[in-house]
Amino acid sequence: MRHLIHVPDLGPWRLVPGANDARIRSFAPPATQWGAVCHVVETPQTIIVVDPGLPEDMAAELHGLLLELVLDTPRPVSVFITHAHADICRAAGPLLADTTLRATVLCHGLAVTPLASGDAEVTLADDMHLALPHFPRLTGLFRGHGAIGVYRSLLTPHGELEALALPLTNATALQVYNAPGHTVDSICLRVKGALFTGDLLASLDDDTAARTAPGRVAQCPQTLATTAGKMLWIMDNSGVSDVFQSHGPTLTATEATRRLRTLMATQ
């Protein structure tokens, strides 16, 4: 971990479960503001940002951190957006405009058009009274086998699960899962024992559900339940110990399993 440590005290950084070459830090916006918990994963070769949904003051802190990391050790910065809602990407603009970071944005292929066109209805930007960032470039995932990453079709008790593997280091890869339900363009991500579920579990909390999709229900409750079953299978078979949400606290495997089972049973 010598290559990852930039200050004597790691402070809010922690090792990614199961990985000795990756660490993670999360930023949580105030509950009173539109936004999402943003997670940063750093390895010696790359930096991953998951859902930069932070208000302006915290977005500046995130931007400063990424600049510090890249200036210390030049590396590519990849921003993953788990679904095309305005609250989870509101802080992406400055990251994309910074020529030092040269950040790229990756999302589900179905999220490209609403994000690129600034569709205020599909992204709920109007409902949330948020301005969508400008996306000069977007990389769509699951647009065709082999388009980016290593494609796999995983057979689970709940049906086929599409997955992409993108290498982060020689020993660690980022796994991206096609995870519709909250929206048609939702994805989940995993780095070793850390699973990032976006808004998959948001419908279990009435306040969070109201804030993430005002006046709306899940895109398809049955699809949501099926995806919950697939993510539960991933947890059981991939050594997941921590589940990072875009709304809500980080969950232990036990807590996440309980919530996923509840989601499967209530839809």
The DSSP code for 134 is P
> Poorest-confidence range of 100-114, 129-143, 160-174, 192-206?
192-206
- The distance of Cα 105 from the centroid of its chain, to the nearest Å, equals 11
> Facing residues of 178 across strands?
187
Give 205's pLDDT tier (boundaries 50, 70, 90): low
Global pTM reads: 0.91
Q: What is the pLDDT of residue 34?
A: 81
Mean pLDDT of 9-19: 78
Give 267's pLDDT tier (boundaries 50, 70, 90): low
Q: What is the pLDDT of residue 1?
A: 33
Alpha-carbon radius of gyration of the chain: 17
Name the residue with higher pLDDT: 261 or 248: 261
Q: Is the Cα dihedral 195, 199, 204, 208 positive or negative?
A: positive
Contact 101, 67 (CB under 8 A): yes
Rounded CA separation 256/267 (Å): 17
Which residue matches tokens 């209805």? 121
Mean pLDDT of 124-145: 90
Q: What is the pLDDT of residue 124?
A: 93
Q: Look at residue 2 and tell me whether its pLDDT is greater than 70.
A: no
Q: What is the pLDDT of residue 26?
A: 94
Q: Which long-range contacts (CB under 8 A, 24 or more apart) does 31-36 make?
A: 34/86, 34/87, 34/90, 34/128, 34/129, 34/130, 34/211, 35/87, 35/90, 35/91, 36/87, 36/88, 36/246, 36/247
Average pLDDT, rounded, for the chain: 88
Give 9's pLDDT tier (boundaries 50, 70, 90): very low
Residue 56 identity (one-letter amino acid):
E
Q: Which domains does the chain have, with CATH numbers?
A: 14-266 (3.60.15.10)
In tens, the pLDDT along 46-98 reads 999 999 999 988 999 999 999 999 999 999 999 999 999 999 999 999 999 99
